[in-house]
Amino acid sequence: MEYHIRPAQREDVPAILHLVKKLAEYEKLADQMAATETLFEQNGFGGNQYFRALLAESRETEMVRPLGFALYFFTFSTFLGKPTLYLEDLFVLPEFRGKGIGKSLLVELGKIARAKKCGRMEWSVLDWNKPAIEFYLRLGAIPMDEWTVYRLDEQGIENLVKG
């Protein structure tokens, strides 16, 4: 299969949203899907660029078709004193898995991390997602079993601020 990977642009927001919806279905989290094209435009391509994305696209026909994406942003490691590339989501449509697209997206992210002099790349995986876990292990990723992710949702943030 012939495909290419490129940085996402503002005009790709509908494709990104479509892929995120497919990811939410795959992860059994569709009921939590609240993102909109407007939110992606504002937060990825507006004045504050909170995320960046890569798109994998088919080149087999005249019609370009999105096959997958990687959405990422940068954080900072206080211990390393260097930036970290954080991969928020990596998703390839199920019918296109096993063709090297996911690995190609990760390789491109690795190139970006290297160019930005990142000390590491990190991401989270749902415990039940064994195919993804096996894929990452094959690539040499190391699970951080001693760390637990904590989260405050919007209501939790509001409660924190109000005291």
Residues acting as catalytic residues:
136
Positions of E strands within the chain: 3-7, 52-58, 65-77, 82-92, 120-123
Distance of CA 36 to the CA centre of its chain: 16
Collapsing DSSP to helix, strand or coil, 107 comes out as helix
- Could you give the CA distance from residue 131 to residue 106 in angstroms, rounded to a whole number? 16
